[in-house]
Amino acid sequence: MLILVDLIVYMYYVYTAFMASIQSKISRGNKYWYIVESKRVNGKPRPIVLEYLGKPDALLRRLRGLADSIKIKSYSHGAVAALLNIAAELDIVPIINKYINSPRSYTAKKPLRNNLTAGATYLLGSIGRVCMPTSKLSWWQWAKETSLQYLLSAALSKIDSQHFWDLMDALPEDAIEKIECEILQKVMEKFAISHDSLFYDTTNFFTFIHTTNSKCTIAQRGKNKQKRYDLRQVGMALVVTRQDLIPLFHHTYQGNMNDAKVFGQVIKKIKTRMETLGLDLEKHSLVFDRGNNSKANMAMIKKLGGIHYVGALTPYHNKQLIADADEKYEDIDLGDDQYMRVYRDKREIWGEERTVLIYVSRGLKSGQIRGIYQNLEKKKKQLKELKDDLLNPRAKSKTEEGLTKKIQGIVKGQFITGVIDWHLTQKQEGKFTLDFSINEKKLQEVEDKMGFRILMTDRHQWSSAEIIKAYLGQSKVEYAFKNTKNPYHIAFRPQFHWTDQKIKVHYFMCILGYLLTTLVQYKVKSKKAFEGNIDNLLDRLNEIRLTTLLEESDTPGRIKSIHKLEEMDDEQQNIMQALEINDYHVTRPKLNGLSVYN
């Protein structure tokens, strides 16, 4: 029955091209089917029978016969069409191709493999990272289930890991920054991106590169943010816009570098990028977290000049500030019925006058207190085990010095030192009892000191609410990093490369995919076609499918094909209209630089 329905739909598509319809008539108690076209006869519309189809059982036999000559296949279409459309609009492939060199294994000036340029290969890899992150070996397994081949009119079945590796070799490391900058200049020309505040932060990605691999220097062991301290990692710094999280700068660095050192290396590049993109430095502020601060870094910002900032300070190193703020807080209206108690002052910090704000972050405080209670439970469990061991008559004799040292090691820790009271009592030689309890007064004092945020800025004219809102927006770059670690879309992992150059090119491809995705989201949000997050948007786009109907032609050896979008719900239709790709499968705009270096 499903085949019958599909074929009737197919016949409808075929005959509607001639403005015809399928109609039935009752004659002598029997129903007969006809293909009818409306024409004017003597100025009046009259139904003209184009073909007699017969009774229902005869029509069914005809359709079943037709089924043998028709093949139906559908492909995931929405996401690849949206990304290709943005890439074509920005001329991404020709921009990349300008910077391609020819590896030694190629005799031509610039390499082609499987009739694809290096720029086209990077773009296809980027689209794959966005839609379904896989190894480059498995890229074709994903691509063949999409409409990529049809939209590009290109054969892609031979694209494998060797294809990617060969063409990735052709991109010099120092060209990545130039390519990214040129693409972003196009973005600024084509899109009205809001970029008054820019958010900076760093993250890292663990790898499975072997410890003894000496060909890779960028992957090093460090403090991994996914707790994989046993693996080598690669770090990445990122700058995104406040409103749409458009990535305006990225930098790949050695995994064992701390945040402050990285910030010192990239701050000049960030300023240069802002100037190259035509951003008015006076109207922009760079927002960064306290881990990027140091006396040397703030001195460098002053020396560079023109960079306004909102940063943070560590409460531990600024206890006097917190003490001065006591009983001097004022209520600040943040809007939307949100109020916060804030202390504001101007202080000389690291040789420069800065506006400082102190407030208590409820989210930070609750998280810190929760961490303290969890840690206390662990300590109590360890002390209980030690107490039970001491009560065991078969336990070995202990010394008071050894027990004291062990207990002191248990009860110490961040925020909890002094919170646990304990006492050892000697019952007899080598035998002790242990008593311990939580000092509630001390615990309350610790809780009272939790959750402090200290902000600093050179925006002295800004209101306290403006400074706080700017800093709170810094969490958006963390959301951007969260997207890059999503295993279903835009993920930087898996990455199966073990040389510095290829790792950097791989991350460039991933950032390119993320840039295209944020621009797709920007388009649909600006037209209020979709309000969900990037992950849900890509899911919705991937669900939009292109159906291909293949029918044997009357001419031997030839096949007729019809391409139609499957039925979409209202939300999907709105997304396609906002992206202006409803007819992309029909027009199939040419992608410059696909197979020729122009």
Distance CA 163, CA 118 (A): 10
pLDDT of 350 strictly over 50: yes
Residue 484's pLDDT band, with cuts at 50, 70 and 90, is confident
Distance CA 88, CA 94 (A): 10
Residue 189's pLDDT band, with cuts at 50, 70 and 90, is very high
pLDDT of 556 strictly over 60: no
Concatenating the DSSP letter of every residue in 138-205 gives GHHHHHTTBSHHHHHT---TT--HHHHHHHHTTS-TTHHHHHHHHHHHHHHHHS----SEEEEEEEEE
Least confident residue range of 2-6, 200-204, 357-361: 2-6
Contact 152, 75 (CB under 8 A): no
Sign of CA dihedral 174, 175, 180, 186: positive
pLDDT of 127 strictly over 50: yes
What pLDDT, on the 0 to 100 scale, is given for residue 9? 47
Residues forming beta bridges with residue 21, ordered by sequence position = 36
What CATH number was assigned to the domain covering residues 2-68? 2.30.31
Taking the CB of residue 62, how many other CB atoms lie within 10 A of it? 15
Least confident residue range of 19-33, 148-162, 575-589: 19-33
Distance CA 71, CA 413 (A): 68
Most confident by average pLDDT, 25-34, 201-210, 520-529? 520-529
Least confident residue range of 10-14, 267-271, 531-535: 10-14
Contact 563, 150 (CB under 8 A): yes
Residue 559's pLDDT band, with cuts at 50, 70 and 90, is low
Residue 18's pLDDT band, with cuts at 50, 70 and 90, is very low
Mean pLDDT of 529-553: 86
Token pair for residue 292?
């990027």
What pLDDT, on the 0 to 100 scale, is given for residue 5? 45
As a three-state string, the secondary structure of 72-96 is EEEEECHHHHHHHHHHHHHCHHHHH
Furthest CA-CA distance within the chain? 124
Distance CA 431, CA 396 (A): 9
pLDDT of 16 strictly over 60: no
pLDDT of 178 strictly over 60: yes
Over residues 425-439, the pLDDT tens digits come to: 888 888 888 999 888
Least confident residue range of 38-47, 153-162, 301-310: 38-47
Contact 178, 467 (CB under 8 A): no
Which pairing describes strands 431-438 and 559-565: parallel, antiparallel, or unpaired?
A: unpaired
pTM for this model (two decimals): 0.78
Distance CA 341, CA 323 (A): 15
pLDDT of 204 strictly over 70: yes
What pLDDT, on the 0 to 100 scale, is given for residue 545? 95
Of the candidates 168, 177, 170, 176, the one whose C-alpha atom is nearest the C-alpha of residue 109 is: 170
Where is pLDDT greater, at 172 or 493?
172
pLDDT of 195 strictly over 90: no
